[in-house]
A = this chain, B = another copy of it.
């Protein structure tokens, strides 16, 4: 038999432990010359992208420019050993730089402490298997904060393009001050900045004629998970703190560049890291001469494509409720990015908890009341299910003779649900009604049997339960009804 049935909870089974823990073992034994060639090309391309970006992001973080490069090489080396996706690159990013700027107060020493602490927390989360908590950052929240960050980070650079000094950090004050002092614009900065922007836009247009479209979107989503990721990133940040790095994460843009350059394994990171080290060794003396307007152009042209205007329309079409966390995150991120993310996670968490506490329950009224919870029954839902059953069974104009609870969608139950069901059985019994369970999955049946509920009856299928209820009613001398599909045809008066 080639087939096996397995119930599992998301563990990859059958993969050797060593390969799972040290992913370099998955590709190093098969490494070939052709791969080396591709990795070399991709590594160089990413390296040439990361050097100017790292300088620009150090500016966003409010740190001396060389700290961008300090932050750029350790991630490449660490990910080469521990990375699972060939094209993901770790390094400084615009959003992380924005977050760092809130806590570093222009002091590299705070940024480095932040790197060590965040790395330790990430590593601890990884070791304690708390990574699943990150799955609670939903797509609308990620879209909301990246879109808002692309606006705030881009606008933050407008002052550098205009050559204005002493603009406050807070977004709304920044907009007000920038507009108020627009008369003080320095022509030289503006011309240089706009020229750089035009050049980068031109390059982008040229690049867009190359085939690439499809791969970027799923990559973006995958990398977004890295933003607060665990063990890989945790190691990189702890080690990074020893080489004066500020916190790093997976980078959207450079991962896409990496993928388009045809990288074959994470070894491409070694080339990128080496290139960063070389530029640190030979180019730092030149950093003083880099004009802020040029860096601003680099940042703006990297951030503008991250604004996803279409997400509002897509959510309206697909799932309107998800617009709530999106809008909360998007709007609050203009105040502070971290508050926006936290509020978005809370809102989507509350919506999630509400849908768990108030699951859809299908009720078919008739001679036999058929109640079918639409999804699994977790403890917060039992009170609501009891209320629903009681309100239909005890207060209806034509009370049913018996109730069938169809449990086909329930895959597990807990003690609170068991207690609630016991109380429901007692309450219905007090009013002379019986409750039968049907279509119980094996684990649920085991729990209910072990709880030894008084008056617990179960049937393998809904049809069997209806047949049996009908026969019982018949035996008690009531109007015969062998199945609910028949009883449905009786006029209301007859069933009362």
Contacts and interface: CB of A to CB of B under 8 A. Distances in A.
A319 B447 contact: yes
Interface in A35-81: none
A143 to B, nearest CB: 9
Given A218-B427, A415-B318, A416-B138, A132 B379 contact: no
A430 to B, nearest CB: 9
A2 B487 contact: yes
B15 A395 contact: yes
**Max count, chain B CB within 10 A of own CB: residue among A1, A136, A365, A374:** A374
A379 B12 contact: no
Contacts of A383: 135, 225
Nearest to A348: B379
A383 B142 CA distance: 14
A139 B348 CA distance: 25
A367 to B, nearest CB: 7
Contact of A359 (B357, B411, B427): B411
Interface in A359-395: 359-367, 374-376, 378-385, 387-388, 391, 395
A379 B355 CA distance: 12
B317 A450 contact: yes
Interface string A246-278: 000000000000000000000000000000000
A352 interface: yes
A348 B378 CA distance: 11
B363 A139 contact: no
Given A355-B378, A379-B348, A380-B132, A361 B8 contact: yes
A376 B379 contact: no
B356 A352 contact: yes
As for how many copies of this chain the complex holds, the number is 2
Given A15-B395, A138-B416, A358 B318 contact: no
A174 interface: no
A56 B317 CA distance: 61
A348 B418 CA distance: 16
Contact of A362 (B6, B12, B133, B384): B6
B387 A12 contact: yes
A135 B352 contact: no
A489 B364 CA distance: 40
Contact of A357 (B135, B214, B381, B492): B135
Nearest to A495: B2
B2 A381 contact: no
A429 to B, nearest CB: 10
A225 to B, nearest CB: 7
A187 interface: no
Nearest to A374: B411
Contacts of A135: 357, 379-384
A395 to B, nearest CB: 7
Contacts of A395: 15
A451 interface: yes
A272 to B, nearest CB: 25
A338 interface: no
Contact of A318 (B318, B378, B450, B491): B450
Contact of A363 (B5, B140, B380): B5
A86 to B, nearest CB: 13
Given A218-B426, A378-B355, A360 B411 contact: yes
A472 interface: no
A200 interface: no
Q: Which 8 A-B pairs have the closest CB atoms?
A: A374-B411, A375-B376, A3-B366, A10-B384, A135-B380, A139-B416, A3-B488, A322-B415
Given A318-B447, A319-B414, 12 more contacts: A2-B487, A2-B490, A2-B495, A4-B364, A5-B364, A9-B360, A136-B380, A139-B419, A314-B415, A352-B378, A374-B411, A408-B409
21 contacts: A2-B398, A2-B488, A2-B492, A3-B484, A7-B374, A8-B363, A8-B388, A10-B361, A10-B388, A15-B395, A132-B354, A135-B357, A138-B380, A138-B415, A138-B416, A218-B426, A318-B418, A318-B447, A322-B415, A356-B356, A409-B409
Interface of A: 1-10, 12, 15, 132-133, 135-136, 138-140, 214, 218, 221-222, 225, 314-315, 317-319, 321-322, 348, 352-367, 374-376, 378-385, 387-388, 391, 395, 398, 408-416, 418-419, 422-423, 426-427, 441, 447, 450-451, 484, 487-492, 494-495
